[in-house]
Structure 1
């Protein structure tokens, strides 16, 4: 009985997914496709795909966007465009537990997707970022979860933030719909 339940759980769960399709609106408009690295960061991929399948990422803004570096999103607690607390966007996560770091030899290059975290390496939860350019200083310090395969021109058009923190002022760009793909 237990084996059957495990097999059914694996077949039904989002962990078998291989990617995300993200619809973005704002200064950037279009679809971004991401290949997720289940073999590199299985725990992080499971968490991201579960949140996406639940619709948790729908309506979440890009709250931190730094020219030449990255665009960060995924705060499902405070980062919702409608009903969120934009003054706290970037400070929240999900109701799911934080994740143990899954560092790898994957490099932070243009288009790579990584998990955001606090100072504790084991504090990633729901937030992630997409690299505009290489960021070697992140290698081995943050978990790589995937790479943009289509729509990098959409990522490049995301509204930039201000100052060293990259906080977006005014109307931020938003992930209107995030879908798990196979």
Structure 2
């Protein structure tokens, strides 16, 4: 009986440890805090999948690059794109472009990916967040994060008129501030 109780205690300890690890909060150094007009969004960055992209986003965030940047391309049911200081979809930062870091991570609702031109190695500062699964992007664009809180505020971002495939938004919503949780929490 004593050994049975010992085995049960060990089993409970293992289950408790596994459960707490699975629900552990993301590292604040790898969480973005995005303030939008409707609320705050938290994005967990995934340096294991895209270390160079995460580092570039962190640098730009700490430099204040994303503060006030608009969501210049927003397609209902697809994604919201930001990160272009010109608001045209053609701009970027002064940092060098980043080589592609494609992975098997699927583009599901709330996934953050890097925007790029025709060249897979042209990502710089622009990124998008998907409103719905977009599996046709899998292994074609770099996944670097996922929304872990506040997706309802992403859903509220002003969208392009229905039928406008370019996704161009008139008087677009913007990122008020973007910070790294370790710097603000």
Match in the other structure for 1:22: 34
TM-score of the superposed pair, with normalisation by structure 2: 0.81
Q: Cα deviation per residue 1:15-37 (whole Å; 9 max; x = unaligned)?
A: x9211000012xxx111100000
2:185 maps to 1:176: no
Provide the C-alpha distance between the structure 2 equivalents of 1:161 and 1:54, rounded to a whole number of angstroms. Answer: 29
Q: Cα deviation per residue 1:68-114 (whole Å; 9 max; x = unaligned)?
A: 000000113x13xxxxxxxxx21100000000000001000000000
Provide the C-alpha distance between the structure 1 equivalents of 2:129 and 2:181, rounded to a whole number of angstroms. Answer: 18
Q: 2:64 aligns with which of 47, 55, 66?
A: 55
Match in the other structure for 1:147: 146
Provide the C-alpha distance between the structure 1 equivalents of 2:29 and 2:97, rounded to a whole number of angstroms. Answer: 21
The structure in which a higher percent of residues are helix is 2
Match in the other structure for 1:156: 155
The structure in which a higher percent of residues are strand is 1
Provide the C-alpha distance between the structure 2 equivalents of 1:46 and 1:72, rounded to a whole number of angstroms. Answer: 19
Number of residue pairs matched by the alignment? 153
Provide the C-alpha distance between the structure 2 equivalents of 1:181 and 1:49, rounded to a whole number of angstroms. Answer: 11
Q: Give the 5 Å matches for 1:23-172.
A: 23-25=35-37, 29-76=38-85, 78-79=86-87, 89-162=88-161, 163-169=164-170, 171-172=171-172
Provide the C-alpha distance between the structure 1 equivalents of 2:149 and 2:156, rounded to a whole number of angstroms. Answer: 14
Match in the other structure for 2:19: none
Q: Which of structure 1's runs of 4+ aligned residues deviate more than 3 A?
A: none
TM-score of the superposed pair, with normalisation by structure 1: 0.82
Provide the C-alpha distance between the structure 1 equivalents of 2:29 and 2:49, rounded to a whole number of angstroms. Answer: 14
Provide the C-alpha distance between the structure 2 equivalents of 1:158 and 1:166, rounded to a whole number of angstroms. Answer: 12
Unaligned runs of 5+ in 2: 1-27
Unaligned runs of 5+ in 1: 1-15, 80-88
Larger radius of gyration: 2
